[in-house]
Each structure stands twice: as C-alpha cells, then as structure tokens.
Amino acid sequence: MKLQFVKKKFIPIIALFLLPSVANAVIIYGNAGDYIDETLTLKVYLDEIIFTEKILDTQVVDSLGDFEFSFELPAATTCFFDLGAYRAIFFIEPSKSYLINLPPNKPLTEAQKFNPYFKPQKIALTVRDVDSTDINLQIAHFDKVYDYSYVKCSLYSGKIDSIRAEIENIESIFANDDNNFFRLYRQYKYVLMMNMNEVLSPALAISYFAKLPVSYGNIAFWEAFNTLFNGFFDTFGTRSPEQIAMDEAIYAGDYEALSTYLKERFGLIESNFRELIILKGLYDAYFSDQRNAPYILKIMSKWQADFSVYENHIIWENVLSYLKSLAPKTEAYNFKLQDEKGKTYQLSDFKGKYVYLNFANTRIALSKKDFGILERYGETYEKDLYVVNIFTDYSRSDMSLFLKSLNPKNTTSKNINLYWNADQNLITKYQIINIPTYFLIDRSGELLLVPAPTPDEDFEQKFEAILQKEKLQEPKKEEDDIWK
C-alpha cells in the first residue's frame, strides 16, 4: 500500500509571475457565513513536478461573512483554495472581478487529520454573475463535452480516425471562442485523447503536444505533461532505440546529446519544452529502482547551467534543493515527537549512535511484520544503534495497542516508538511515499543511507560493513609496553 503526499514549498515568484509588471488588478469577493473569522488563502501552483505553491493573497472572513481579495496578475491562470475537506479550483484573468460561492464549510474530521492517505476532494468553484465568455463557464461546458467524447473514443479502442473526428466535432462547438487560455486548455486535453491510441503513442501524442506552447498556469498543460512524461526515461523497452539513445546520453552526462535526441526523435522544437521534459525525466529517474540516485543528482547539478529558459531554471533549482534535502551527508530533519507514554524525543537526542529510522503503520501488513527483527536489532546493536519507529496511525492508541500486543509482559524495549501526530511537514521533509520506509542516520545526525534497506533486504550486512569500516578507520591506541 502506498502513501502519496503532495510535495510543497513556498518560494519567490517565478514562471508567469516573473513577467514584467504590466498586470492589472484582479478582485475576488463574496459572502460565506460558514467561514466567519476563518483565514482564506488563495494559491497557485508554480509547477506540478514538485507542486510548488505560491500564495496570491490571504484574507480573513469578517463578522458579516464578507471577504475580498485584490492582487496583480499578468496572465490567466488556475488558482485554488484549500478549504478543509475540499480543494476548490477556478480560473482567473487579469482586470476581472469574480463573485464566488464557497462550498459549505466542511472542516477536516479527526479521522482525516490523522489519515496519511487523505486528500482533499477537488471541486470546481462556482463563479457568479459572469457572462457567457467567462473561462470558468467555458471550461465547465467543454469538460462535459470532452468527457463524453473521451468515453466514445475508448469504445472505439483509441482508433486515430475516431479520435480526430471527435476533436473536430468538439472544436466546431467552440469555434467562435478566441480566449487563448481556453484554446490552449482544449488543445492540452486533446493530447490525452491522442495518447489513447496504443499503437502510435506516445510518439503520436508527443508530436501533437510539441506544437503547443508551455503554459505554467494552465492545469490542463500539467495534466497532459505529467501523464505523457511520467517516468519517461524508463518507459521504453531496454533494447529499444529510444531507450538506448537516452541511456547513453544520461550515462555520459551529455545534456546536448539528450536534448538533441528529444528534438530529432520526437519533434520537440521548443527548448522550453525539452528542458521541462529532461527535468521531469531526471526527477522521476531519481526515485526509480533502475537508476543510481546519487548519479542522477550529480548530473542534475551539472546540467543546471544548460537551461536557457529562466522559469525552468528556477524550477530546476527548487527541484534540486528538494532532492538534496535528503541526499546522503546532509543533516536529517530534526523532528520532535512523543512516544506512547507521552515522553518527548528529538532526533538530535540520539547523536552519538546510528539511527535506523522506520516510518511504520499498524494497518499495513508489510510494515507490521518487521517489528520482530527490529527488536532484535535494538538488542544486538545496543552499543551503536537506536531503532526509532515513527507510527503514522490514525491515533496514538492504535500504536499503543499494537506495541502491547508485541510485548504483553511489558518488558523494557531497546527501541523507541514515536507517534507522528499528523505532522505532514515531517512526512514532506522525509519525502515519504511508501510505508514502510527506512533511513540510516549516522552518529552526527547526517543521512547515510537514503532509503536504507529494509530488514527483509540486506540491512544487517550493510550495517555490519559500516561498523567494520568505522573500526578500521579508528586511530590505533598505543599499547602499554609490558616489558618496560
């Protein structure tokens, strides 16, 4: 079972917000009695590779339920509110005012707060009193038509003639619309229809996509981009010409060779697009079992200077910063958590020994089965190692009941068991995607193995080798000469 966590980081304005300051004010207002005295934060994604967020404006709903946002905007974009159980999405353009209806206030329940699997439900925000040319109305209309056509294409088994006929039919409905944001939104969605053809894709869909510009603020761009280029450098067969050519360029650390191949093989003329594909491809490769993560990080650092598009360069910097935060020999995030008895621990408390850090959950069988051997590790390596288990369960009592079942006689355990307390920042800092996930932290508090092998793998052998190497590197003590 997987845990998926959104990766977030607030950084300076980039992408469409780096354009010259010629933007006009946008005003967003409304009345929401359900939200009196609550803080509303309007945000955008600056990229959807690591999902970097930017706050457009923050306002407090007054005692009458009124609120108003006002800010400068250089180009149309997708924005959203995080409203408890909902993520409310809508579209805004410069020089326009929007009267909006917020959904009923639905705060996160205790179960949702403490559930690592929970994601807010995405909803389209209602925009009131706008004319028929408003992009929110247009996109809502288009999505209904598109979804119907998409289903029809699937029934045709993704035949290219049927796909093209459906696209032509949809475009005939919206032929008189000249809004560029909406036009591109439609074209990006058609990329997904093209990708339904199993015989010609991904080449067919890529060739269609390659004719379109990059639009950082258009949610449909990122949907098509992430669908088409997810794990791109590992999606072709190992003996395919595409895989061989891309592997050779990556292993040689040759950015120009890789960029040129993407241009010639897939018709990706725009350097802007190629740069994003390389960035996304290397980011995914970093987490791939088929690649060497330290090497990927090394060439990413090397290739940063090759990026010519400023927006991509900034995204590249933030992706690198994100990946380096868990690179070996960097300081591990110093969490502060409580054990089952309420005693508080910090990671820094364990300096002087190695730390085998385990993110666990009692509802996941794969995680629960490790605890027997973890107890043995705690006893066998007591002199050199702390085993620290962080439970991501719904409640502290879940953790306590599980620990009691392991130790009914309530004997003293050498291991330390901590409760995460719904700390999403902790999950983000350690980039937890799967449970269980293990890390080995050295005596000084720096990451050593990321991720570390599980007990089912070869952790014990690797840790023995680390201790042996450490012993060999110790300065030899002068022995007393008993003959003196």
| Residue range 18-40: mean pLDDT, rounded | 82
**In this model, does residue 145 exceed pLDDT 60?**
yes
CA distances, 417 to each of 340, 378, 424, 432 (Å):
7, 12, 18, 18
Residue 450: band (very low, low, confident or very high) from pLDDT cuts 50, 70, 90: confident
The pLDDT, as a whole number, for residue 114 is 67
Q: What is the distance between the alpha carbons of residues 435 and 4, in angstroms, rounded to a whole number?
A: 10
- pLDDT > 70: what percent of the chain? 92
Residue 22: band (very low, low, confident or very high) from pLDDT cuts 50, 70, 90: very low
Q: What is the pLDDT of residues 174-218, one digit of tens each?
A: 988 889 999 999 999 999 999 998 788 788 999 999 999 999 999
The pLDDT, as a whole number, for residue 397 is 92
| Residue range 41-54: mean pLDDT, rounded | 93
Residue 477: band (very low, low, confident or very high) from pLDDT cuts 50, 70, 90: low
**In this model, does residue 483 exceed pLDDT 70?**
no
**In this model, does residue 161 exceed pLDDT 80?**
yes
**In this model, does residue 11 exceed pLDDT 50?**
no
How many residues can be counted in the chain? Answer: 484
Residue 170: band (very low, low, confident or very high) from pLDDT cuts 50, 70, 90: very high
The pLDDT, as a whole number, for residue 105 is 95
**In this model, does residue 14 exceed pLDDT 70?**
no
Neighbours of 205 (CB within 10 A): 21
Q: What is the pLDDT of residues 377-430, one digit of tens each?
A: 999 999 999 999 999 998 899 999 999 999 888 788 899 999 999 898 898 899
- pLDDT > 90: what percent of the chain? 69
**In this model, does residue 9 exceed pLDDT 60?**
no
**In this model, does residue 481 exceed pLDDT 50?**
no
Write the CATH number of the domain with boundaries 336-473.
Answer: 3.40.30.10
Structure tokens at 410: 């309530």
Residue 49: band (very low, low, confident or very high) from pLDDT cuts 50, 70, 90: very high
Q: What is the distance between the alpha carbons of residues 275 and 184, in angstroms, rounded to a whole number?
A: 20
Structure tokens at 76: 């149309």
Of the listed ranges 119-133, 213-227, 327-341, 467-481, the one predicted with least confidence: 467-481
- Considering the chain, tell me which residue range(s) the CATH 3.40.30.10 domain(s) occupy: 336-473
- Considering the chain, tell me which residue range(s) the CATH 2.60.40 domain(s) occupy: 15-130
Residue 308: band (very low, low, confident or very high) from pLDDT cuts 50, 70, 90: confident
Looking at per-residue pLDDT, the higher value among 13 and 417 belongs to: 417
Residue 294: band (very low, low, confident or very high) from pLDDT cuts 50, 70, 90: confident
Write the CATH number of the domain with boundaries 15-130.
Answer: 2.60.40
> What integer best gives the mean pLDDT of the chain?
89
The pLDDT, as a whole number, for residue 410 is 78
Q: What is the 3-state secondary structure (H, E, C) of 206-275?
A: HHHHCCCCCCCCCHHHHHHHHHHHCCHHHCCCCCCHHHHHHHHHHHHCCHHHHHHHHHHHHCCCCHHHHH
